Structure 1
Amino acid sequence: MAGYTTAEKQRGRLKIFFGYAPGAGKTCAMLYAAHEEQKEGIQVAAGFIESHNRADTAELLSGLERLPPLEISIHGEIVREFDIDLAIRRRPELILVDDLAHTNAPGGRHKRRYQDVEELLRAGINVYTTVNVEHIESLTDVVTSITGIPVLERIPDSVFDRADLVEFVDVGPGDLIDRLKKGRIYPDEQLQQKHAGFFIPEKLIALREIALRYTADQLNRIAVQLGEKAASATFYTKDHILVCLSSAISSKKVIRTAARMADALHGTFTALYVETSRTKELTAKNKAELRENLRLAEQLGAQVATVYGEDVPGQIAEYAKTSRVSKIVLGRSQHKTRWPAKSNIVDKLTASAPNIDIYIIPDNGPSLYKKFPQYAKSPLLTLADTGKTIGILAVCTLIGLWFKHLGFSEANIITVYILGVLLDAMVTKGRLYSGVTSILSVLVFNYFFTAPFFSLQAYDSGYPVTFLVMFSASFITSTLTLRVKEQARESAQKAYRTEVLLETSRKLQQAKDTPAIINETALQMVKLLDRSIIVYEVVEGELAEPLIFAKEEAAVDPQSYIFDDERKVAEWVLQNNKRAGASTDTFSAAHCLYHAVRGGDTVFAVAGIVMEQEEPLEVFEKSLMIAMLGECALALEKDKLNEKQKEISLQIQQEQLRTNLLRGISHDLRTPLTSISGNAGILIGNSMVLNEEQKKELYNDIYDDSMWLINLVENLLSITRIDNGALHLNFQAELLEEVIAEALLHVNRNKDEHHIEIRLEDELLMARMDSRLIIQVIINLVDNAIKYTQSGSHITVSARREAGWVVVEVADDGPGISAEAKAKVFEMFYTADNVRGDGRRGLGLGLALCKSIIHAHGGNIELRDHAPQGTVFSFTLQAEEVNVHE
């Protein structure tokens, strides 16, 4: 699979050769144009050409490179399809792909050829292709009404709209019919006879008019876009088109009409689905049709929205008012409805939203199945609910007999039975038991409590009215109870899902890094969808190892879904920044549905939802999942930006250190270098004049300045190695006495002017250290005491053991350090106000180096005042026990 990403490649250009009927010459016009491009030096390859055994087409193919087709075996027959992987590997500048609306054979990457073409464009390859007017999605219903032939292969209008150039290939209807008769369209006579009904002048004229108008609309759209870019003007008329979706097959016509309207008005297009309490009871066939309608709306550019409520017209009107909808498009069947029919939804919608234009799209076509939604039938009778119903009736009867014994009126007993019906509606499922309980309550009341007793007859003429009122009250009460229960269930589910989304947002804000963000998102997706989730993080443009988040009691172990074929789907999603897998038209045979966690053109991760043995995602679940992935992308993008900001801050700090270092070197190194060169010049030019004592003094000055420079360079190199992590520490148990003694051998030669003393709590005191670095620390601390104290000062180096640590101290009785300097003394390039006797100040690297070394050893370094005067520097090292056996 080619390793390109959307962000890295410039999108290829698409040219469509557009016609109004087969045989108009689209393929030939495309081949003529390809030959012209090839003459201009463009690399052209024929990816897939439908020649239909036409001699002129075969002749035009000569001279062009032809890519071998992909051969797929279906039930023993070989089917040839366009090989997209070969085309991407070959990467010509221009590729020819005939019949854009073609449906690929099962087993290919995409279901439709236009998806192959879109992938070629994303790969930066220019494409020439052909389309007929009947294949445009929004025009399908209009064309079908003219030809009487349903069109199964269609392309979304958005594919046509994104074309960089459309060339209308025109031929007169008479010439087209003449071509058919001469066998230039269908060489086979049977095919000619089969399509003869299509090639009728009236039909061809109508199709030609539609195609010309659609081409003109396309050119107008391009002109509008160019005008917007040139003048920074907007052609948006603030029209907002709302189409109302359902699970009916006729909704497709409504969606296409609304899409054409939104396109003509340059308005916003929204598809709204109102989910009620009975949506989950839809049959599998209706659910599949609903998903197809939603997918069609998305393909035609609609923003899909979902609302909940039993009052469908009220929900539509409320959404329309909130979203500033200007036009509502509805579908309505012309078939007669049974009496009594429900109130007309159009009338209710008109009353609720009187200021919004409402367009009704009639449906006169044949019904493939009943227009009203079909609901899955739940079991009518269950043993548990039957027992509950019988028990409630028995208890109500016993209470009624007790009331009768106490002398209560019949009205009180009727109330008991109504209460029983209400209770039965609450504890049983479905409407059957509520209706049966209402009828049985009337019969039982008549049997036990009306004269003649223990008979279903009634002597009193008023009893039938009593029975009717009792039945009506019971039935209405049970119906209202069931409705409240369903609404409460839906509200609880909606609140739960919304709570999951809000909880996701809160947890993502609290997540500290990328792994935590991905982990929280995956766990929330498992919680929301009740499905296993597989996440591939993107690291340096490649998929990392998958992270598996299995749902509880998963039927199939998610580990079985991380084999190579599934990973290839995830890689395709990464490269193309589009969803793929189960329930899509790309890699539809996959076991998981893969979505890109993306921010713009950048894909941060790929999330896979295990779909095998699971129902397809519901509309609201899908919307929440996409919102959740969007939240995850924002959090990951924020985390990446924070990392980049830290890198930039670190670079700024490094630049500041570099600037300070250069400033310090240019200022502070000038004096010793000048002194060395000056003293050397005196020795060279006046060696005969100077006596031995003067020469020795000059030699000592040169040596002091050289040692100062050497120590400076060593400190710079040590700090650089430690801060970059390039310094390898060799930890060993060392005797403090030996380390301190070695360090004092290399301190400033002016040590003889001071009294230096060593105090050890124990001669065998040992610590875990890298001895060469700790020697450097002690040298720097002692040198610091020598530099900043007066001649004759007392400097003490001591060490003692404290609770598993060894504390090393360097104390002096000098002038001490000010409170302001104490807070900065360990910072790089900071020097105290004390000035050395030679007029030079250090670069402020020694103590900073000491701090880095001690921290690398896991210890601490600090300073404090020394009583009665002076300063104490102390640091800690991990203590080691003396091995007596060695």
Structure 2
Amino acid sequence: MTSTDGTALDPRTGGPGAVRRGRLTVYLGAAPGVGKTYAMLDEAHRRLARGTDVVVGLVETHGRAATAALLDGLEVVPRRTVAYRGQDLTELDVDAVLARAPQVAMVDELAHTNVPGSGHAKRWQDVHDLLAAGVDVVTTVNVQHLESLNDDVEAITGIRQRETVPDDVVRAADQVQLVDLPPQALRRRLAHGNVYRAEQVDASLSSYFRVGNLTALRELALLWLADRVDDALTDYRRDHRIDAPWPARERIVVAVTGGSESDTLLRRGARIAQRAAGSELLAVHVLATDGLPGAGPARIAEQRRLVESLGGTFHTVVGEDVATAVVDFARGVNATMVVVGVSRRPRWREALSDSTGTSIARMAGAVDVHLVTHERARSGRLSARRRSPLSRARRVAGWLLALVGPVALTALLSALDGGVSLATDLMLFLALTVGVALVGGLWPAVVSAVAGFVLLNWFFTVPTGRLTVAQPENALALVVFVLVAAGVASVVDLAARRTAEAFRARAEASTLASVTRAVLTGDDTADALVARLRETFTLRSVALLERSADAWVVLASDGPEPPATPGDAEAVVTVDETRVLALAGRVLPASDRRVLDAFASQVGAVLEQTRLRRAAEQTRVLEQADATRTALLAAVSHDLRTPLATIRTSVDALTATDLHLAAGDRAVLVDTLGDATGRLERLIDNLLDLSRLATGSVAPVLRDASLDEVVPLAVEGYPHDTVRLDLAETLPLVRTDPGLLERVVANLVSNAVRHAPDGSPVVVTASPVGADLVLRVVDTGPGLPDESKERMFEPFQRLGDTGGTGLGLGLAVASGLATAVGADLHAEDTPGGGLTMVLVLPLADAPERHGVASPVTP
């Protein structure tokens, strides 16, 4: 409401201020009859006693005396009456409640569907209007009416609930209070007649209100409300910045790497989660941000399916450090336990740095950490043997430089005959070692450093010629040299490896992104993906094989002599249970397996898309056939019955022995009989032609023909003032089937005559245009909008035709026959109003055309 000066007034005080949104309180019932409405009205009395302005917007007592008694002493807003199908029905009068402007309104049955003609389709939408106006609302709803539980309720009770309310509406309530009653107590209440009428009790007890049904519904209500309470707890912790987990519910987080041991961890986590009712299983996989490739997508997809089969959920997070990312995720979901596998690294490596499991346990704080051993624990096989990223030529050059370089540098320094100090010698040998590392990698650099140490000791450290050092500082300098040289070589080698791996990862990502983009856009087929796989890995040939009952079938292939079976290939990648990719030409390294798995996943996606498209096309064809059949039955029942009834009536009148007809009446009946017979003949011809076109049994016999032998026959029977021919005698011959072309022109003329206004003849004209002859059937009728011109050639379309004397098949048959004879049919607007049907025919001396001709505009 507003004041006289336009200032917003608070509905509670009438003073200036913004109207706050009302608060929503929901009484959630586990089943009908538990006492939701009773509890709501009891709440109304309590608020009224505290001085709150309370009204009853709508309450359904369902004839229950105890509930109806609670209405005494409460103000009830009259309902609004809605007329529907000859009955007067009542609904919540939202406008009346808003005009009354109470503090609190009681509105029963939140999921109720309003009578058509109401302001909103659902009552929860009416409640939203009240809340928006600042009115607090107390309402009721049963758990079976929640949208997300509809399928579960149907599976339990066998009854599909038609009235539902979105879960978000109830979740957004400021307060949700469960109204619960043990199954046996509810059945006793039902048996005493406190829920339904006496004649309904026995049927209800033996069907919906069975103990099993009520127990399951009660559990659904408790679990749903527990989720809502959990959401509220999460919001509270976030709003108050509480990072420490509160173990209100068991949540088990399993850290998966993509390795084979992750399956063991997931099954162990599932068993732990099953020990406590209501526990959750969450699997988390961390994508490291160093840009280096991790587990293959196929393995991650397998573990995602395993988690879902165990009743859990799979999550992927990005983090710089795996342990930190896992702990942050666990705290974010309020987890009570993290399950992680024992490290594969040997003990000596763990002595140098913490494993992921140890780091998680150190950072977890109040979250329990469960370390699970597995068959690969401490096996030392953290990864496959590292392959040098350097080429063979660089490795050879590195070894030569490592063996020859120290000797050559020693000879050079010896030739200087003590012209440089030991410190300079050390720096030169260190520079040599760095150069060897840049050229040949780690191990040649280590050899160069050791050789430099020996040569420096023998030739340049006092006493020379012996592997002893007289001065301690020289010994220290030599040791430091070896350590620095080895460290620098290791860093240089690691940088080279990481650079090569980063380039490889970028190439893999680019390849996979290109493949994925092509698959998502539908541009690639299985053949295209197989060809791209062969091109990417420079293989001789690739084949996509499918296992049938007793043999392998090639679905797609590329390259000469593709493998016919998996045994003929150097490598095999599994796509799914029945299909594999067989690769021939060379053995691929294990590092390429990740990209191969991704290709296999995309091939599977393409095959699935192809299957779905085929299914969709089959469904579309079936739907179209069903629509055609339905339209045909509906049309035949009327349009064929009409001429048959006319024929029957005329024949009965003409053959009646007790009816004496005058000559004029008899002539009228004979004419009527002829017209009805002709109409029936045309309808049957169109149906037969449509059937022939649908089955592909139309076989045109093309020859050179003149329009003079076709068009006059097609318009025979029409008076000159109805159809006027404007055909020049010099028109060239066309290549067509005269019989089928006659049917096309006849249907076009018949359609034009039906729509042409009285006194305005249909004009048939033709003229040569290039290599075509263009025939036009012109009428000046009402015409059609552009959006209808495409549909006009579909069967059973009677656009703008209200005469009711046809099935709407004429233009569909004409279009199909025109295509069969190699012509093109389309519609244009007639200048000044009307429709012109344009038929484009190939000339007799024009090159042969196949299929539909392109539209020609002169």
TM-score, normalised to structure 2's length? 0.52
- Number of the residue aligned with 2:436: 424
Q: Distance in 1 between matches of 2:342 and 2:545?
A: 42
2:563 is the alignment partner of 1:595:
no
1:855 Cα offset (Å)? 3.0
Q: Distance in 2 between matches of 1:374 and 1:882?
A: 70
Residues 449-486 of structure 1: per-residue CA shift (max 9 Å, x gap): 99999999999985554444444332221121112222
Residues 253-297 of structure 1: per-residue CA shift (max 9 Å, x gap): x9989977975774879999999x9x99xxxxxxxxxxxxx9xx9
Q: What is the count of residue pairs matched by the alignment?
A: 575
1:493 Cα offset (Å)? 3.7
Residues 23-50 of structure 1: per-residue CA shift (max 9 Å, x gap): xxxxxxxxxxxxxxxxxxxxxxxxxxxx
Per the alignment, in what secondary structure is the counterpart of residue 492 of structure 2?
helix
2:701 is the alignment partner of 1:735:
no
2:339 is the alignment partner of 1:357:
no
Q: Superposition pairs for residues 290-305 of structure 1, below 5 Å?
A: none
Residue 353 to residue 855, structure 1, CA distance change in 2 (3 Å) = same
- Number of the residue aligned with 2:399: 386
Q: Distance in 1 between matches of 2:823 and 2:719?
A: 28
- Number of the residue aligned with 2:563: 559
1:710 Cα offset (Å)? 0.5
- Number of the residue aligned with 1:698: 669
1:677 Cα offset (Å)? 2.8
Q: Distance in 1 between matches of 2:533 and 2:620?
A: 34
- Number of the residue aligned with 1:756: 724
1:520 Cα offset (Å)? 1.7
Any gaps of 5 or more consecutive residues in structure 1? 1-226, 281-293, 567-589, 599-604
2:522 is the alignment partner of 1:520:
no
Residue 506 of structure 1 aligns to which amino acid in structure 2? R
- Number of the residue aligned with 2:837: 873
Q: Distance in 2 between matches of 1:874 and 1:592?
A: 60
Residue 488 to residue 238, structure 1, CA distance change in 2 (3 Å) = same
Residue 618 of structure 2 aligns to which amino acid in structure 1? E
Residue 497 to residue 793, structure 1, CA distance change in 2 (3 Å) = closer
Q: Superposition pairs for residues 660-679 of structure 1, below 5 Å?
A: 660-679=631-650
- Number of the residue aligned with 1:851: 815
- Number of the residue aligned with 2:764: 797
2:743 is the alignment partner of 1:776:
yes
Q: Superposition pairs for residues 104-119 of structure 1, below 5 Å?
A: none
1:424 Cα offset (Å)? 1.9
In percent, how many aligned pairs have the same letter?
Answer: 17
- Number of the residue aligned with 1:475: 486
Per the alignment, in what secondary structure is the counterpart of residue 576 of structure 2?
strand
- Number of the residue aligned with 2:783: 817
| Preserved CA contact (<8 Å) 2:543 2:564 | no
Residue 672 of structure 1 aligns to which amino acid in structure 2? P
Q: Distance in 2 between matches of 1:340 and 1:793?
A: 99
- Number of the residue aligned with 1:28: none
- Number of the residue aligned with 1:191: none
2:554 is the alignment partner of 1:546:
yes
Any gaps of 5 or more consecutive residues in structure 2? 1-214, 224-248, 276-280, 294-302, 848-858
Residues 71-130 of structure 1: per-residue CA shift (max 9 Å, x gap): xxxxxxxxxxxxxxxxxxxxxxxxxxxxxxxxxxxxxxxxxxxxxxxxxxxxxxxxxxxx
Q: Distance in 1 between matches of 2:846 and 2:394?
A: 85
1:752 Cα offset (Å)? 5.1
Residue 780 of structure 1 aligns to which amino acid in structure 2? N
Q: Distance in 1 between matches of 2:785 and 2:836?
A: 14
Residue 847 to residue 470, structure 1, CA distance change in 2 (3 Å) = same
- Number of the residue aligned with 1:326: 338
Residues 123-143 of structure 1: per-residue CA shift (max 9 Å, x gap): xxxxxxxxxxxxxxxxxxxxx
| Preserved CA contact (<8 Å) 2:705 2:733 | yes
- Number of the residue aligned with 2:593: 621
Residues 513-542 of structure 1: per-residue CA shift (max 9 Å, x gap): 8xx146426844884797964323579x99
Q: Distance in 1 between matches of 2:704 and 2:556?
A: 49
Residue 782 to residue 452, structure 1, CA distance change in 2 (3 Å) = same
Q: Superposition pairs for residues 62-81 of structure 1, below 5 Å?
A: none
Residue 593 to residue 381, structure 1, CA distance change in 2 (3 Å) = closer
| Preserved CA contact (<8 Å) 1:826 1:848 | yes
Residues 527-560 of structure 1: per-residue CA shift (max 9 Å, x gap): 4797964323579x997731465789xxxx6536
Q: Superposition pairs for residues 212-251 of structure 1, below 5 Å?
A: 238-239=251-252
Residue 229 to residue 384, structure 1, CA distance change in 2 (3 Å) = farther
Q: Distance in 1 between matches of 2:748 and 2:807?
A: 15
| Preserved CA contact (<8 Å) 2:446 2:486 | yes
Residue 425 of structure 1 aligns to which amino acid in structure 2? A
- Number of the residue aligned with 1:656: 627
| Preserved CA contact (<8 Å) 2:740 2:817 | yes
Per the alignment, in what secondary structure is the counterpart of residue 491 of structure 2?
helix
Residue 744 to residue 238, structure 1, CA distance change in 2 (3 Å) = same
| Preserved CA contact (<8 Å) 2:344 2:382 | no
- Number of the residue aligned with 1:573: none
| Preserved CA contact (<8 Å) 2:570 2:586 | no
Residue 390 to residue 668, structure 1, CA distance change in 2 (3 Å) = same
- Number of the residue aligned with 2:183: none
Residue 535 of structure 1 aligns to which amino acid in structure 2? L
Q: Distance in 2 between matches of 1:692 and 1:614?
A: 99
Q: Whose relative contact order is higher, 1 or 2, with alpha carbons under 8 Å and at least 6 apart?
A: 1
2:692 is the alignment partner of 1:721:
yes
Q: Distance in 2 between matches of 1:492 and 1:708?
A: 77
Residues 785-827 of structure 1: per-residue CA shift (max 9 Å, x gap): 4444467755543433322222222345x55635577676444
- Number of the residue aligned with 1:83: none
Q: Distance in 2 between matches of 1:483 and 1:415?
A: 22
Per the alignment, in what secondary structure is the counterpart of residue 597 of structure 1?
coil
Per the alignment, in what secondary structure is the counterpart of residue 400 of structure 2?
helix
Residue 434 of structure 1 aligns to which amino acid in structure 2? A
1:777 Cα offset (Å)? 0.8
Q: Cα RMSD (Å) of the superposition? A: 6.2
Residue 419 to residue 805, structure 1, CA distance change in 2 (3 Å) = farther
Per the alignment, in what secondary structure is the counterpart of residue 563 of structure 2?
helix
- Number of the residue aligned with 2:171: none
Q: Superposition pairs for residues 309-348 of structure 1, below 5 Å?
A: 315=322, 326-330=338-342, 342=352, 345=355
Q: Distance in 2 between matches of 1:511 and 1:790?
A: 50
| Preserved CA contact (<8 Å) 1:546 1:562 | no
Residue 274 to residue 616, structure 1, CA distance change in 2 (3 Å) = farther
1:607 Cα offset (Å)? 0.8
| Preserved CA contact (<8 Å) 1:766 1:879 | yes
Residue 473 to residue 534, structure 1, CA distance change in 2 (3 Å) = same
Residue 708 of structure 1 aligns to which amino acid in structure 2? R
Residues 6-25 of structure 1: per-residue CA shift (max 9 Å, x gap): xxxxxxxxxxxxxxxxxxxx
